[in-house]
Structure 1
Amino acid sequence: MARYETVIGLEVHAQLRTASKIFCSCSTAFGDEPNANVCEVCSGMPGVLPVLNARVVEYAAKMGLAVDCRVNLTSVFARKNYFYPDLPKGYQISQFEQPLCEHGHVDIEVDGRVKRVGITRIHMEEDAGKSIHSSAENASFVDLNRTGVPLIEIVSEPDMRGPEEAVAYLKSLRNILVYLGICDGNMEEGSFRCDANVSLRPFGQEEYGIRAELKNMNSFRHVQKAIEYEVARQTALLEDGESVIQETRLYDASKGTTHSMRGKEEAHDYRYFPDPDLVPVVIAADRLEQWRSELPELPKAKMARFMEGYGLGEADAARLTAERPVADYFEAAVAAWNEPKKLSNWMMGEFLREMNQSGKGATDCRMAPESFARLVRLVEEGTISAKNGKDLFQEMFLNGGDPEELVKAKGLTQISDTTALETVVDGVIAANPKEAEAYRGGKTKLVAFFVGQVMRRTKGQANPAVVNELLAKKLSS
């Protein structure tokens, strides 16, 4: 039995989807040429003054409202002082003693158990630049495009007790941010990233152990693997009678290990003080209520509605509402053809499979939701076979098209006419007398052979149900 309890707290940085930076008009576009989106303000030139982007305050406050935080009507920007080459001013504009949002929570579910994870605070801040190290040129470079890009930092309470809970919390946060439309949630591009504070303590002990902060995790899988490794590393140290050092560690995805980066800073190391160039942020109470009224239906509420309104099971409802574009696509299809369970089966099967195989999201799908509904209806009503429907689905997902026109052009209409199929079935039985005799002798599994032969002769257009009915009648006589 494990002797130590894992304690995890996460600091999540989410890039807000604004067109311009937090304190200047430079673009926030990702992937532009290095230092293409830089001005006197975000590069920290002497004598310039920052001007707050109002949209940043709105987006940050909406996230606070979505996770039941108290949104403070007055908050203050502070200078966080540290010296890195990618921080041109020598300080980062953030918030400290008076953040925008405090005391919220997110409910997560792991192994069928619901748990509440507290959120200590959500505050606004600017991103730093990016250092680029070239071993080939034996030189380092700085790209300031990200400098001044607006972020919110979401700081959790140390309420998580394992990597699975940490991942569930991250996924829940990301879903909320994407549903709100304030962050694209792209971990690979760094617009949604986290640092994990991990410590151990003997079971029953109230006092927290010494923590290590883990960085450089750009996927949910990396977060889980990094925490698992760190728990094992700290456990080994404690069981050998050694001490855990408070430090910042980097995760190496290629090796699945963490290694020391630097000693972990405390708040006093940053010498926070209110930024004299920025006045306090004051939000009118009626404006805050307006933002509250603009909040969309969030994932958990949508999931409950899908279960109650559409009669879906919990697993299907959870998966269909995990990503807002998928949920919106499904609802548009249901609006076109009110058969939610039948559409859900195709969404859970063909749709999600095609998304995974093609690497495309619901917004990249070339098939309109209405066309998807009509295609499923053609299959369900027996106009085309399920196999042909699945083949058409793949084509339409990637290229679009009208399902009825494609069925007609490809000659895929299913043959259900009993008289026409009876002639084919008679021909197949006559051509395979040994198999027919064996079937009558008790080898009933041979029916699959006969169905296959009929399908081959009709180029897959025969209605399987009618074929099976005819075969059962003909072979038993």
Structure 2
Amino acid sequence: MSVHSKYEAVIGLEVHAQLATVSKLFCGDSIAFGAAPNTHVSPITLGHPGTLPKTNRKAVEYAIKMGLACHCEIERDNYFARKNYFYPDLPKGYQISQHTTPICKGGHVIIKTTAGERAVHLNRIHMEEDAGKSIHDIDDKYTCIDLNRAGTPLIEIVTEPDIHTAEEAWLYVTEIRKLVRWLGICDGNMEEGSLRCDANVSIRLKGETKLGTKAEVKNLNSIRNVKKAIEFEIQRMIDIVEAGGTIQQQTRSFDAGNDTTFAIRDKEEANDYRYFPDPDLAPFHLSETFINGIQAALPALPAQLFARYQEVYQLSEYDAGQLCDDKATADYFEATAQHCSNYKAIANWMLGPLRQVLNETGKGFETLSLLPATLASLIQLVDEGKLSFSVASSKILPAVMLTNASPLQTAESMNLLQVSDTNELDAWVQQALEKMPEKVTEYKKGKKGLIGLFVGEVKKISKGKADPKLVTQLLEEKLK
């Protein structure tokens, strides 16, 4: 038994998602990414004396959306608190957050592991404002402060210590990113910092119930880094304990250059922050009407569609999973299914030729110019035997992709409609057989696999216009 297998890791994750509002949480300053430093600021963002913040209604709505999607209990009576600590990029000297009344309590997120589905339980989802940004690599002597991000609305999604492997953490953050994008409340762009993750990691001997001393790894900005940081921390802690050492409670950072973590400070406790209700922000009550309106407007969630695509549309688990990978893909499938009942064909086209086109440009289905009705018409032509899939995907699709011209008229104008006239097909079949007398002899001696070769030759002679099903029938008759 390896040393590693004696221990169980216990992991809690805190994911910060920047809400996709137009303005900040307590004022009208823009939250657009990429502006010149310190241009999206105002006296309220900077916390000037005499300024009064006002809560962004849309941010509250987005927080509730996430809570409902995660099966949370929505707190009806809410208030904001001041969280006091010094960061050079925190302009007010405190952060406005929620402490005793998170807007969403409990809940869970389902992940799919190799062992099957399991629920990762949540402790809370609360709202808070973001800090600014300290930049250390522009000037040799000074840290540069950009306060554009200060005051940006965030939700912090906090799990229970309910995760036990780096793989589970990776799956969970993947699911959270998918969910916030699906709901349209966050773009999930970890590179730009609109989704960030802190990981609290501890270890204990298997069978123990008491939690070990934890280390928090801050600001992991990619799903890969979440996995790598946790893997390193688990091994680091096991090595310390096995060597007879003591794990220190501390805050650490991740070095993506060598996949290791390093200590940056001792970890604060909640009472170090001296929380108290913000006197400048009125408490707010969420009415049943407001919450029910948000609930009614929620889109069908990935898990619901995944089940429906298998049960109602009879799609495979793979196809259903791929179509539910993001909302734009699912929306395009749903729209095409309004015009076409061959659901398997829709999936094949979307996950085959159409995805290939999109992958070449690095875009998603939300950018696709081909109308769902046009795709449905193309599928119908193939189903009716008027076009082969090969010709439809390689010749007709590129021709109608931008213009959404009629696939039938396009096929007619390009002289590509399949010929099902027996006399013409018969002539092409005869021509193909006459070109390969030796192969005909081999076929008659039992080499039946050669039928594909003959079909391919007829396809070549007919320039793709011969109906392959009828060609196969004619060939089999002639070769008896």
Tell me the TM-score normalized by structure 2.
0.91
How far did residue 114 of structure 1 move? 2.6
Give me the whole-angstrom Cα distance separating, in 2, the residues matched to 1:235 and 1:381: 64
> Structure 1 residues 246, 412: closer, same or farther in 2, change over 3 A?
farther
Where does residue 26 of structure 2 map in the other structure? 23
Structure 2 counterpart of 1:453, one-letter code: E
Q: Does 1:182 align with 2:195?
A: no
Give me the whole-angstrom Cα distance separating, in 2, the residues matched to 1:300 and 1:460: 42
Deviates most, 150-159 or 208-217: 208-217
The answer to whether the Cα contact below 8 Å between 2:396 and 2:410 also exists between their aligned partners in 1 is: no
How far did residue 353 of structure 1 move? 4.4
The answer to whether the Cα contact below 8 Å between 1:366 and 1:396 also exists between their aligned partners in 2 is: no
> Structure 1 residues 262, 410: closer, same or farther in 2, change over 3 A?
farther
Structure 2 counterpart of 1:464, one-letter code: P
Gaps of 5+ in 1: none
Match of 2:323 among 315, 320, 323: 320
Q: Does 1:448 align with 2:448?
A: no
Where does residue 470 of structure 2 map in the other structure? 466
Deviates most, 169-178 or 94-103: 169-178
Aligned positions, number: 476
Structure 1 counterpart of 2:417, one-letter code: T
Deviates most, 45-54 or 389-398: 389-398
Give me the whole-angstrom Cα distance separating, in 2, the residues matched to 1:149 and 1:458: 63
Q: Does 1:257 align with 2:260?
A: yes
Match of 1:329 among 329, 332, 353: 332
How far did residue 122 of structure 1 move? 1.2
Give me the whole-angstrom Cα distance separating, in 1, the residues matched to 2:464 and 2:256: 48
Give me the whole-angstrom Cα distance separating, in 2, the residues matched to 1:417 and 1:240: 83
Where does residue 341 of structure 1 map in the other structure? 344
User: Matched residue of 1:316: which SS?
Assistant: helix
User: Matched residue of 1:310: which SS?
Assistant: coil
Give me the whole-angstrom Cα distance separating, in 2, the residues matched to 1:94 and 1:246: 24
Tell me the TM-score normalized by structure 1.
0.92
Structure 2 counterpart of 1:455, one-letter code: K
- Aligned CA RMSD, in angstroms, stands at 2.4
Give me the whole-angstrom Cα distance separating, in 2, the residues matched to 1:394 and 1:226: 45
How far did residue 128 of structure 1 move? 1.3
User: Matched residue of 1:169: which SS?
Assistant: helix
Give me the whole-angstrom Cα distance separating, in 2, the residues matched to 1:184 and 1:342: 31
> Structure 1 residues 224, 416: closer, same or farther in 2, change over 3 A?
farther
The answer to whether the Cα contact below 8 Å between 1:125 and 1:150 also exists between their aligned partners in 2 is: yes
Structure 1 counterpart of 2:93, one-letter code: G
How far did residue 382 of structure 1 move? 2.0
Match of 2:422 among 404, 418, 441: 418
Deviations 1:389-447 (CA, angstroms, capped at 9, x unpaired): 22258637964533334433433322332221221221222222233333333433333
Match of 2:434 among 408, 430, 436: 430
Deviates most, 359-368 or 282-291: 282-291
Where does residue 308 of structure 1 map in the other structure? 311
The answer to whether the Cα contact below 8 Å between 1:229 and 1:257 also exists between their aligned partners in 2 is: yes
Q: Does 1:123 align with 2:126?
A: yes
Deviates most, 64-73 or 386-395: 386-395
> Structure 1 residues 228, 400: closer, same or farther in 2, change over 3 A?
farther
How far did residue 52 of structure 1 move? 1.1
Gaps of 5+ in 2: none
User: Matched residue of 1:235: which SS?
Assistant: helix
How far did residue 10 of structure 1 move? 0.8
The answer to whether the Cα contact below 8 Å between 1:354 and 1:394 also exists between their aligned partners in 2 is: no
Q: Does 1:199 align with 2:202?
A: yes
Give me the whole-angstrom Cα distance separating, in 2, the residues matched to 1:405 and 1:212: 66
* Identical counterparts, % of pairs: 47
